[in-house]
Structures are given as C-alpha cells and as structure tokens.
Structure 1
Amino acid sequence: MKKEISICWLRRDLRLKDNAALYYALKGKFPVLVLFIFDKNILKKLDNKSDARITFIYQTLAEIKEGLEKKGSSLLVKFDTPEKAWPAILDEYNVKGVYANHDYEPYATKRDDSLGEFLRSEDVAFQTYKDQVIFEKSEIVKDDGKPYSVFTPYYRQWLKKLNDFYVKSYPTGKYLKNLFQTSSLPLLTLEELGFKKSDQQFPSNHFEKKLKDYNKERDYPAKDATTHLGLHLRFGTVSIREVVREAQEQKADKWLSELAWREFYMMILWHYPHVIDHAFKPAYDNIKWRNNETEFKAWCEGKTGYPIVDAGMRQLNETGFMHNRVRMVVASFLCKHLLIDWRWGETYFAEKLLDYEQASNVGGWQWACGSGNDAAPYFRVFNPELQLKKFDQKMEYVFKWAPEYQNAILPIPIVEHTFARDRILAAFKKALA
C-alpha cells in the first residue's frame, strides 16, 4: 500500500526557506513531497525558445532539488497542464493534502478554483496561504470596506498596519525532517521542455548593500543603484518578509514604498481583473490611438531619436532589464508621444522583462498612460529631453546603451515634443468629453 503523503506545490515561491505553504505542509499530519509543474498553458505562449526566465526557473529548481535530496527527499517535476498533471499525480501517489501559496493573477485564480473542485471530489484537502506579499486582497481597505484606488492613502494604511507579526519568517528549516523520503526523482532537461539554455546573466538576490544609497541614487540610471530584486520577487527566490525587514532596518523608506506599490497593484488586479486589457478608468478606453506600426517598431528597437528612450529600449532588449525611471519615460513616450495603445507596450514588456509581473506591469503602463491608478491628471506628459538632462546629464547611461549619440551627426527624432504633446492632449480631451 502506498504511503499517505501531502504535496507542497511550488509556483512563484521557488525557495525552501521562509515559505508559508511549505511550513504548514511540514507541520501537517503527513510527510511532504515538493512539486513543481512546468505549465504547458503558460509555456506555449512563449515564442522565444531561449527565454531566459525558463532557464532561471530551471536552474532554481535544480538547486531546490539538491537541497531536498540532502534531506533524503527529492523534487517531483511535471511537464503538463495542471488539468492533466494532477489526476496523474493522484494515481502515482496516495495524496491526502495539497498545500500552495496564493497567486493573484486571473489565470492562476481560475486554475486554483478548478483544482480545488477536483481535489475535493477526490477527497483531498487543498489549502493555500499568503506568501508573496505582506498584505493581500482586502487586508488594506478604506473605512467603508472598499479597495483604495489611489496609492498614497493606501500606503499610509499599509505602513500603519505593518508590524513585526507580518514580517516574521516561517521557520521551515526546523521541520524538514518531515519531508517524504524518496530516491532522487528525474528533472527534465530544458530541451525536453522545448527550450534552449539562455546565456543571460541573472542578478544576485543579495540586495542589502544596495539599500544604503537607494533613496538618494535610485533615479540615476548610470549609477545602477536599484536592487535588481524584481526577478527574485517575481519567482519567489527571496522572501518578501526578509526584504521588508531589511528595508525597515536600513530605514530605506523609498524602497519600502516601492514594495508597497507592488502590493497595491496586486490588490488592484485582484479586485479589478478587467485592468489586464481595459483601462481602470473606463473613459480612457475611448481614446483613438494612432497605432502606427512603423513607429512602434522604431520604439521597440530603440530608434526613436530620443537618447534616453533609445538607451532604455536597447538595455531591455539586451539584458531583460530596464532602469525604473527609464521605464516610466519610455512608456510615457509610446503612449503620449506616439499615441500608441498602452497594451502594445505592456505586451512587449511582458515578452522581454526578466522581472515581468502582470500586476505591476499593467499598473505601471496604465499609470504612464494616465488611464490607471493615478491621482495626477492626464495632461502630465514626460519630456524625454528634460528627463535626460535631469537624470543622465553626462549621458553616461545613453552612451553605454546607444553609443551613436556620441557622434557629430545625431539621429533625427521620430516626432517633435511640443507637437506630440498638443496632439495627445487633443486626443485625450476628445475621448474624455
């Protein structure tokens, strides 16, 4: 007779340390087998078969597997849709309970709702926990119970509620003796998943030293003073609780607010899932976009004639990363200078960004467009030339990523700023009339 076990299903929480679902699984009644599913529903949408994110996940899983095997267990890896993988897992093992952490994206919530129904029909308990945020869903709401739609009052409440209880780590290490004991299980190769190994360099998840000067230096792209932690937060290779504690200890107030922005957008996506492909402010769906494909191609390739825009897009295309300040500038430029639908830009970022996170990406693009959660009026239009003078005055960042701007003959701008500003304001006024 097969041994009764529980399964801890890792998704975007790829670590054994300080993991809520793993902690509760290990403290449960049955020995725990850790699982990861390479989800065909997600992978089939990736056109780039050298997508660096798949290599990052794969390498991380290999490390997790090694850690589990040191404890006499292993990592169960499946390559299928969850709908097909789970019946096969229940055939293979005598599963009594499944543990996982919450995911707030619409695809994930539907997946988990369906899985919950299936597991209940098989008399298997399914329990999920908060892990990737400090506050989720309706934990930070207005006095009337409605979600906030503007960040500043949300953040005031977020800070007010934050205390030691919410940032305390889950001591999973104490309970690893309760892992299911098994011989080493196979880990598929990248080729078997339909992908090739990427040579992309991944940032370290050691961010502590970056916080010292973050408040002062974060806006200057040449200084590279941001934490590069987005990839690790996206896939859960670092604990949000650890990150917030460190920010508190170092009094990195601005970094703390950036972490809260991430949770704000997750809360918005949870309550208003329509924002994935519709404006948060419905009137902005009436904007008549130009959507010129030649100009969009020039933006994608970093050939707009605006130095900071071109440098940002080249950095993205080459590294899968773009500096935070520059992200705002290039997004504003696409929507407001070129009058191209924010969804086009959001989709391009989704393909290219190593740290792509749906809630933050959609939220950031709608913020730049003016159609999202922003208290500022729609007529804020970033001037890319002023942004360059303010944040890359010596053009160190630009010369690194778009070296042609060192030449005597400079690229001709794709559109003139004042003309573009007048055009977008007229388009917005017409749409919002």
Structure 2
Amino acid sequence: MTRRLVVVGHGMVGHQLVDRLTSLDTEGTWRIVVLGEERHLAYDRVSLSSYLDGKSKDDLTIAGPVLRHDARVEVRLACPAVSVDRTSRTVTTADGDDIAYDALVLACGSRPFVPPVPGHDLVGCFVYRTFDDLDAIRAAARAGRPGLVIGGGLLGLEAANALRLLGMHPHIVETAPHLMSAQLDPGAARVLHQQATELGLRLHCSTATASIEARPDGTVRAVRLSDGTVVETELVVFAAGIRPRDELAVSAGLALGERGGIAVDDRCRTRDGRVWAIGECAAVEGRCHGLVAPGYRMADNVARQLMGQDTEPFDGSDTATTLKLLGVNVASFGATRPADGQALEVVFAQGSTRYAKFFLRRDSGALLGGMVAGGTASPLALASFLGRRPPADLEQLLAPDLPFLP
C-alpha cells in the first residue's frame, strides 16, 4: 500500500532525506510531498559564498533532474508549513492547503541569530543565509568601502570573504578571544588570524557590538564596539550564530529541547511515532547540531527507518569542519575538547604559519580528534584514524617537516 511522507523543509538535509529514501524505495512504497519555504530548489548552502565569486544559482542547486522528474516526489516551493495537527495527521500550508500524512519529517533548519543591539534593524543591516540575502548584500555593497561582519565563527568568515569578493574591506567583530572559538584552540586560531590579517581583514576580537549608529536618513553610518572603537561602515552583516526553527513543534504540541530545537531521541524520533526531526532544527538527546554532516547522517538514518530497516543510534560524533576560504587551510574533526584526563595532547607547530594538535586516548592510544591550520595534511586523512591507533609516524603523515612540541 502506498503511503505519504510530508517533508517540511527543502534545504540540504531535507533534500538528502528525499534523495536517500527514493533510492532505497525500489517498490514505490512512499509518495513524498516536500514543502520548501524558499522559491529555489535545494542548493549547497555551505558553498554560498561562491555565488558571489562567479557561480550561478543553477551551479549550486543540488536537486538534480532525476529527482525533479520523479513522479513519486512533489516539491512545492515558496510554500511554508504553518501548523501541524497530529490528531488528523495533516500539515497546513501558508496557502491554506491541508496535506495529510502517514509520516512527517521536520527538516525546518534554522534562522540567523541577530543580537538585539540598538540599530540592528537599520537599512544596511543584513543576515547571511540565503540566495536572497546575498542578492541584497551584492546590491548594497560598494567596492573600496568598509563592511562589517558581526561574528567570527565559520559563517562569519564566509560572510567576510563574500564582502572581500565584492571589493569591500571587511571588519570582523568577535566576542571570543579568537576566531572560530568553537572549533579551534588559540594555537590554531593564531595561524588563521595571521593569514586573515595578511589578506586585509580587520579583526576585532574580545569585544562586542554596542550599537549600530544611523545617518539622518535611517541608513547605517557606523558601528560602535564595547571597547570604544567606532568603525565607519554602511553595511553590516550578522553572522553571529543560528537558532533552530522549532515553531511547528510548538503548534503540534511536541516537546522542545532545553535550549530550543525539536526534542528527539537518538534515532531522531519525537514522542509521536509518526513524526521525526532532522538537521539544525532537531535537538537530538538535547543537543542541536549546526553542521551539515551530522544532518546528512540523521537523514540517512530516518530514510532507513521509513523503509523498515534496522538503524544505529545517532551519536553526533561527525563534527568535522573545514574552512576553504581566504586561501587558509583550517579544519577540525572528532573531539576537539576531550574530557579532562581522558586524552594525551600531541602538538606540532611552526610559528604562526602551521599548527596541528591531536588527541589520543591515554589507555589505548586511539585517535579521538584534533585540528589543523596552515600547510598541514588533509583532515580527511586524519579522520580516517578516528577510534583507532594512528601509525607511529603520525607526525610525518599529518604534518610533514613540522617540529614536535613535547
């Protein structure tokens, strides 16, 4: 008997679920309705900056022609879901349609976090999330002028690179002592800081945005920082993090995580056996994951469940991140902050140009995780040893010619 799956969200993770399920469902068990909030087919949000470096929207689209013409899949663009009725098992769209489901997967993603600083809503303030956001930034950018990015994490660096591609002179404001504080230690961040500065980025760490000041016409004039610095700029991009989209869970009477997100177990199941949540909107055992790799694993896991296959619990261990912008090689993988006493640290460094740190389990020598910055080896080579003892010549494999720091 044919059943209907409704997928709320047509981002990278929602698309992965549909792609995986259609490949597994060789008997045509499921008919799928996808509700996308944006007017574009699913695209590679991780590579969004390349849209300002010559790539087109079509270049970044990941929904291939096979899926677009698959009779089992109906994709409704610019058609957000506004409520869920779990009693009648229907999803209501902004157009007023009620769509019945046998299974429902919430892949709603996240929204950019905009700190409530004075002036955050002035003309000239933007977020960095979608094609439409980048089109607006491109229209407002003025080559040769300063632009300011609030947030020094992975997304903030991508936004700063976007401004650089548009010919602007980017500033980055970060409240933490260094860039990418969630992934890098001070040693790795020092390499990133040095190379970013050499590329012309102005970095303001250990400070916050106090206010965004306006011209008489209501447009941005300058940004005042908490340390007293005033940066004159007409363009501000907020890239200070994300918040899970969990409104539909509230409308459906589903539980939320302590810090937001749709509460699910280690197989991405809500307390309703017909409803799952995956990607950035899901709080798996209380934790939200803001990276695409864990989201893909959630999608694959749920696709197998929908086909009645056995699955392993999602453990959230795939947290590898790579910065391929600005000509800087920075990456982290596995555990970057192991529990005290659990790990032995091994560090390789060469001034402020190359750095690598690895964590080995004290009792077995198994690789737990690490980070690299500068001219070091590929993080993929490192991640292949996670959970087992690396070779004895680890330093030559991963950081050739790099001096050892005992």
Task: Compute the TM-score of the two structures, normalised by the length of structure 1.
Answer: 0.25
Higher percent of residues as helix? 1
User: TM-score if structure 2 supplies the norm length?
Assistant: 0.26
Compare the two structures and name the one with the higher strand fraction.
2
Q: Which one scores higher on RCO, CA 8 angstroms, separation ≥ 6?
A: 1
